[in-house]
Every structure is written in structure tokens, then in C-alpha cells.
Amino acid sequence: MNVEIDGIVPDQYFRVRRSALKPDAEVWVVHDDVLNRVPVQVLQRSEDEVFLTGTLEEGQQVVVSGIQAAIDGMAVRTQL
């Protein structure tokens, strides 16, 4: 039996911790100690990870915890 599944095949996708994904399909990223909201499209979810496309960049710092109230453009300090 052959099965064919239609769907998108992105040129590039990102894998992040599931805790990084916010309810409105976005993630927070930090660049030069400034917090920015990045809209994403969810390709697949697993128990601990999410596969995304969007305007993320390879190597970019994605926030996975520690933010209760945030504003786009807010200055932040990161702890690795």
C-alpha cells in the first residue's frame, strides 16, 4: 500500500521547547538584551518540543521560562 500525505515542506524549520510557545502562536526572543515577540506557525507538537516556521533565526535566543508579563521591546537580562 502506498500513502501520500499533502502538506507543507518548509525549507527551514526550528525545534524549541514546548514551554517557549505562547498561546497565540508566538515565541519571545532576545536580541542585544531586548525582548521581541515573533509570530510562528506550528508544524508539529510533541510532548516536550514544538517544530516551527517563522522569522526566527538560527542561533537566536528563545525564551523558555521566567516571563510572566512582557512587552515587546522590553530590556531584559538573560541567565544561561
What does the pLDDT read at residue 69? 82
At residue 5 the predicted structure's pLDDT band, cuts being 50, 70 and 90, is: confident
Q: How many domains are there within the chain?
A: 1
In a domain, 1, yes or no: no
Tell me if 52 is assigned to some domain: yes
> How confident is the model over 40-61, as pLDDT tens digits?
999 999 999 999 999 888 888 9
Task: For residue 5, tell me if it sits in a domain.
Answer: no
**Structural domain of residue 37, as residue ranges?**
10-80
Among 31, 23, 18, smallest CA distance to 64 is for 18
Considering the domain boundaries, does residue 24 fall inside one? yes
**Other Cβ atoms within 10 Å of 62 Cβ, number:** 18
pTM of the model: 0.79
